[in-house]
Amino acid sequence: MSLHVPRQRFVCVLFVLAFLAGGSAWSQGTGATAPVRILVGAPAGGSTDTMARAVAHAMGQQLGRTVVVDNRPGAGGNLAAEAVARAAPDGQTLLMSFTSHAINASLYPKLAFDPVKDFTPLTMVSTSPSVLVAHPSLPANNIAELVALAKAKPGQLNFAIGALGSSLHLAGEAFKLKAGVYIVNIPYRGTAPAVQDVLAGQVELMFAAVGNVQQHIRAGKLKALGVTSPHRLSTLPDVPAIADTLPGFESSAWFGLFGPAKLSPEVLRTWSDAARQAVQNPDVRHRIEAEGATAVGNSPQEFARFVVTDIARWRDVVKFSGAKPE
């Protein structure tokens, strides 16, 4: 016996099925199939941008999604952070932030967001200790000699500062606070001109990212006095830790991935797992290490605790520095 379906009813069934399929696709148009954006509060080409792009590519491959990097530089990363804080908690908008996320909590009298309550930490991507470098003419070859020289000549030595309020600026402030010395800050608009003036001997000292000065150290154009990590770095094995002379001193930049507050457990798990797997990807680790950083990939809970601790750690340094937003 054959089954006969009237033409009008058959067309109606097809229409309903098409509508349901279309409705499902439309509902995913702002969800599973729409590009995910990782906002970066720094210009393209810098360390934060480089790491964000490496992680975004690996996450996209894992999840079969399009993940794009959206650069929103300005206000020490606050413009990008504010946009993510206001975004819907659907996993479509994420933030690749850096140490300024913690510093800005004390540096800016008023923020348009809460750096803890308005975000969901996903994972710390990497940490990047810096190195204290000096022009070869400086009559100090280690931290003890530098502290003695600075105490003998208060206000006569200078730190080149690539960006006021940055982790490198505040590494210098933490050093002065710990050593009890007075060294004058010379601000620049960017790391590159600051490094050039130290190379030229216009300024004696600078805290710099390892990746920015490593070649100059190897060429003998700068001398490295100490690294800001608790122990020596494999990339600079002959350079002692500043903490060897000033116990307890530590100042490392960090880079981490956040979502807006109130992500659902499922969305949090999806993106945190993807980010942590991305950090372990050999290509991503290579890109991270090329920036002079160390891959981390910790849990959301560990990262959340770190952010709270880091905000408190920088509070006294910011107060001591007297730094104000530019």
Question: Where in the chain do CATH 3.40.190.150 domains reside?
Answer: 34-127+253-321
Q: How far does Cα 29 stand from its chain's mean position? A: 30
Question: Where in the chain do CATH 3.40.190.10 domains reside?
Answer: 129-244
DSSP assignment of 106-130 equals HHSS--SS-TTTTEEEEEEEEEEEE
Which one is the CATH code of 129-244: 3.40.190.10, 3.40.50.300, 3.30.70.260, 2.70.50.60? 3.40.190.10
* Single-letter residue type at 144: A
Q: Which CATH architecture has domain 34-127+253-321?
A: 3-Layer(aba) Sandwich (3.40)
CA atoms of 289 and 207, how far apart (whole Å)? 19
Q: What percent of the chain has pLDDT over 70?
A: 90
Q: What percent of the chain has pLDDT over 90?
A: 71
Give the per-residue pLDDT at 5.
46
User: Does pLDDT of 175 surpass 70?
Assistant: yes
**pLDDT confidence band for 46 (50 / 70 / 90):** confident
With CA atoms as reference, report the closest residue to 171 among 220, 115, 241.
Answer: 241
Q: What is the pLDDT of residues 271-285, one digit of tens each?
A: 999 999 999 999 999
Give the per-residue pLDDT at 322.
86
Q: What is the pLDDT of residues 108-153, one digit of tens each?
A: 989 999 999 999 999 999 999 999 999 999 999 999 999 999 999 9
**pLDDT confidence band for 192 (50 / 70 / 90):** confident
User: Does pLDDT of 191 surpass 90?
Assistant: no
User: Does pLDDT of 92 surpass 90?
Assistant: yes
**pLDDT confidence band for 264 (50 / 70 / 90):** very high
Give me 5's structure tokens.
């379906």
With CA atoms as reference, report the closest residue to 210 among 218, 202, 220.
Answer: 218
Q: How far does Cα 135 stand from its chain's mean position? A: 28
Helix (H, G, I), strand (E, B) or coil at 238: coil
CA atoms of 39 and 233, how far apart (whole Å)? 30
What residue has token string 């981490």? 256
**pLDDT confidence band for 57 (50 / 70 / 90):** very high
Backbone dihedral region for residue 183 (phi beyond 0: left; psi -120 to 50: alpha; all else: beta)? beta
Give the per-residue pLDDT at 291.
81
* Single-letter residue type at 258: F
Contacts with 173 (C-beta within 8 Å, 6 or more apart), sequence order: 317, 318, 320, 321, 323
CA atoms of 133 and 221, how far apart (whole Å)? 10
Give the per-residue pLDDT at 91.
95
Provide the β-strand partners of residue 171: none
